[in-house]
């Protein structure tokens, strides 16, 4: 997953007076760490100088400054030109961008109660600020005039694309509405911003509170010493002495269920996961109903049949029907595979029960990972315990993730210990290009914390821009359980793949070579943003790369060739489950975001709506739950800076492009600098300087094909 802060033109609020401990005078504002560009390398945030009390005054000052800049652009007495209107907008709001990117990144990975308070307060004001810019009639008139006269402007291709994007952004934001409609739109945007912020905060609390405490280490039978140590460390961090704590990841099923032999504990953990944010002070059901209703009203106000129709107009699918059509191309094969996988596990359960003289039971969702691991072990003659010693974090990072980037793009990575970080676990690397010149700064934040949202994601603190002379400052975030001191950090292959995935986003940001901020890096449609990341996953299983990083953490010996072959072959195992859980979530998203105002369920009906939507999907197979249930489906109910609502299908379409790209690489010689530079020049450096499918076709030489995706997953 990637989270990038939206461009400053689409992110702010209407200036209001805010009381802040540091005051709001000219001198105090100038003293804020966001008032001026950072003097650190790459303009990295000065984390050691930033305090929670800095954010509100910096937001207020930054937004007020941008509104003055925008007012001057709109009131410019000279006729509109590309420079005095579009380029001027691209230069506006730089202080706001600095505070916004730092605040929202830390909100997601290093939050505290004060940050949560600020988040709730600032969300509706940011929405109002965006509206104050995008619903400014005088500013819109200048943009629209330039667009209508674009044929005579003699713009280069990137500038012409920037003009098209500004017009699209403003029209989609409601610039063509009448005044009463604009007033209602402002109300809806502010309310939705507040509600999605509440959803995110409820989920963070519910995920933390949902952790399962274990009283006896005997209950953890099946876990490795490192996993037990991580559970002990998690309990110790919460001062739960003499206990072990199983913290929850963001998805429905939990990776820890793979090896836990206690069926009762597996069920406890599973139920803690699916019941998140469905009761008590962190209940998200009423929040969901309100978000969906308001999104439906906003879509209708803007002239769309549904929120999904509004969202998908700006994505490759174009329509909800087209997104469903993509799902339908692979759903039958995936469901058939999932049923076959379940049948294999049920046979194993029955056989073990017969041997033990006990009554067999029907396979349940909390059993899937445990028995699929046993089937995998029998079929491929290995299990996680046998391969984990070869997937040590440092080897994977240095000899895998960084190695592949060096072989493909010539990048080198030098760790820096002289730059401030927001948490001691965060590491900083300076990235140099093939010619030795500085390219970017990369922050690696890999360990789970209670004040960090779940899952893995990429974010930026500084976006690349030739216009602003910015190089990228990029961060990757994972939620790997941190072991006790002295124990190695041994990864599952899923975690290895996630590291490569998130670094694919980072490469998209770091290799960006774009003039205008709005078009740079990962500021592309969601269904294209996931393409470079899912493509980069291929190197996690590429034999030449795996052989380089898969070394025993004690001896340094490479993984035996036979075991390596088994690991790679086994990646097609359990793909029915993985595909169906994703497709169920995709169709659940589309169901929520195709409702009308009249058909929006009441809060008490939210669970029933979800059940009906899953039943109607044709993929509702009891042993395979959706990857996310609604109450913790953060991709689709989160604030705008991480919003996949109506478009969670993006991962499917992006993977089609990614697997086509993998096929292209294999057909052209694999891991070579020539191939890497070709992808870099055609896709990774281009941002949104052209429309995504135009970029892909120029690289691939034709339209996307579904075949390589099906082959990759063994479907």
Write b or e for each residue in 496-513: b if 16 or more Cβ atoms lie within 10 A of its Cβ, otherwise e.
bbbbbbbbbbbbbbbbbb
**Per this entry, what is the length of the chain?**
715
Contact predicate 130/11, CB 8 Å? yes
| All residues at 6 or more sequence positions from 362 whose CB lies less than 8 Å from its CB, including other chains | 346
* DSSP reduced 3-state for 492: coil
Residue 700, SS3 per DSSP: helix
3-state DSSP helix/strand/coil % of the chain, to nearest 5: 60, 5, 35
Instruction: Please answer whether residues 533 and 505 qualify as being in contact, where contact means their C-beta atoms are separated by less than 8 angstroms.
Output: yes
DSSP 645-658: TT-TTHHHHHHHHH
665: tokens are: 């690489």
Is residue 443 a contact partner of residue 419, using CB atoms and an 8 Å limit?
no
Beta bridge partners of 50: none
Give the strand pairing for 457-462 and 438-447: unpaired
Residue 444's φ and ψ, nearest 5 degrees, are: -110, 115
Active-site pick, 502, 542, 581, 584: 502
Q: Is the torsion defined by CA of 300, 629, 603, 200 positive or negative?
A: negative
The answer to whether the Cα torsion of 60, 66, 68, 74 is positive or negative is: negative
502 is catalytic: yes
Count the Cβ atoms, other than its own, within 10 Å of residue 155: 16
Sort 178 into a burial class: Cβ within 10 Å, 0-12 / 13-18 / 19+: exposed
How many angstroms separate the Cα of 576 from the Cα of each of 165, 262, 375, 568?
39, 25, 14, 17
Cα gap 111→601, rounded to integer Å? 32
In a 3-state reduction of DSSP, which class is residue 446?
strand
H or E element at residue 107 = helix 94-109
Q: Residue 242 burial by CB count (10 A; 0-12/13-18/19+): exposed, middle or buried?
A: exposed
Residues serving a catalytic function are 502
């Amino acid at each position: 997953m990637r989270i990038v802060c939206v461009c400053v033109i689409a992110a702010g609020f209407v200036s209001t007076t805010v009381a802040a401990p540091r005051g709001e005078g000219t001198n105090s504002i100038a003293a804020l760490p966001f008032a001026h560009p950072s003097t650190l390398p790459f303009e990295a945030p000065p984390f050691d100088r930033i305090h929670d009390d800095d954010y509100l005054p910096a937001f207020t000052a930054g937004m007020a400054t941008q509104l003055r800049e925008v007012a001057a652009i709109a009131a410019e007495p000279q006729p509109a030109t590309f420079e005095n209107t579009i380029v001027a907008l691209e230069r506006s709001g730089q202080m706001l961008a600095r505070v916004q990117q730092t605040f929202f990144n830390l909100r997601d990975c290093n939050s505290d109660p004060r940050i949560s308070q600020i988040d709730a307060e600032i969300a509706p004001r940011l929405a109002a600020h965006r509206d104050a810019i995008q619903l400014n009639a005088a500013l819109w008139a200048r943009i629209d005039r330039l667009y209508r006269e674009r044929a005579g402007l003699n713009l280069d291709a990137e500038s012409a694309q920037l003009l098209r994007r500004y017009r699209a952004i403003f029209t989609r934001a409601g610039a063509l509405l009448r005044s009463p409609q604009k007033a209602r739109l402002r109300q809806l945007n502010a309310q939705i911003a507040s509600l999605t912020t509440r959803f995110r905060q409820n989920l963070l609390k519910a995920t933390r509170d949902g952790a399962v405490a274990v009283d006896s280490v005997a209950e953890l039978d099946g876990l490795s010493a490192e996993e037990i140590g991580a559970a002990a460390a998690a309990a110790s961090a919460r001062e739960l002495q003499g206990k072990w704590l199983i913290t929850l990841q963001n998805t429905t099923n939990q990776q820890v269920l793979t090896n836990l032999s206690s069926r009762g504990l597996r069920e406890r953990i599973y139920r803690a996961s699916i019941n998140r944010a469905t009761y008590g002070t962190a209940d998200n059901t009423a929040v969901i109903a309100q978000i969906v209703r308001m999104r439906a009203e906003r879509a209708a106000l803007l002239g769309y049949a549904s929120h999904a129709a509004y969202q998908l107009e700006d994505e490759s699918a174009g329509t909800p029907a087209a997104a469903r059509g993509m799902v339908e191309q692979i759903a039958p094969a995936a469901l058939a595979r999932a049923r076959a996988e379940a049948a294999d596990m049920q046979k194993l359960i029955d056989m073990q029960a017969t041997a033990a003289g006990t009554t067999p039971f029907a396979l349940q969702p909390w059993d899937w990972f445990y028995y699929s691991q046993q089937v995998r072990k029998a079929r491929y003659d290995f299990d996680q315990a046998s391969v984990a010693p070869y997937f040590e974090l440092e080897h994977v990072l240095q000899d895998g993730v960084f190695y592949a980037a060096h072989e493909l793009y010539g990048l080198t990575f030098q760790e820096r210990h002289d730059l401030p970080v927001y948490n001691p676990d965060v590491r900083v690397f300076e990235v140099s290009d093939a010619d030795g010149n500085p390219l970017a700064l990369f922050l690696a934040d890999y360990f789970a914390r209670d004040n960090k949202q779940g899952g893995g994601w990429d974010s930026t603190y500084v976006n690349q821009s030739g216009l602003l002379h910015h190089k990228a400052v990029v961060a990757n975030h994972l939620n790997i359980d941190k072991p006790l001191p002295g124990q190695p950090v041994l990864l599952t292959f899923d975690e290895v793949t996630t590291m490569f995935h998130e670094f694919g986003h980072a490469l998209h940001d770091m290799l960006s070579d774009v003039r205008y901020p709005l078009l740079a890096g990962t500021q592309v449609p969601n269904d294209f943003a996931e393409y470079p990341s899912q493509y980069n996953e291929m190197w996690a299983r590429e034999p030449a790369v795996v052989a380089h990083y898969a070394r025993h953490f004690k001896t340094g010996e490479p993984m035996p060739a036979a075991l390596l072959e088994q690991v790679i072959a086994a990646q097609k195992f359990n793909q029915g489950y993985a595909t169906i859980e994703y497709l169920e979530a995709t169709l659940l998203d589309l169901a929520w975001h195709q409702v009308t105002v009249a058909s929006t369920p009441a809060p008490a009906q939210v669970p029933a709506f979800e059940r009906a939507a899953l039943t109607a999907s044709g993929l509702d197979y009891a042993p395979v739950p959706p990857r996310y249930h609604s109450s913790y489906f953060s991709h689709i109910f989160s604030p705008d800076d991480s919003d996949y609502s109506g478009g969670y299908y993006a991962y499917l379409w992006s993977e089609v492009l990614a697997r086509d790209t993998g096929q292209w690489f294999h057909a052209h010689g694999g891991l070579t600098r020539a191939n890497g530079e070709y992808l870099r020049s055609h896709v990774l450096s281009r941002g949104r300087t052209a429309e995504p499918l135009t970029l892909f076709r120029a690289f691939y030489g034709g339209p996307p094909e579904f075949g390589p995706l099906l082959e990759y997953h063994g479907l």
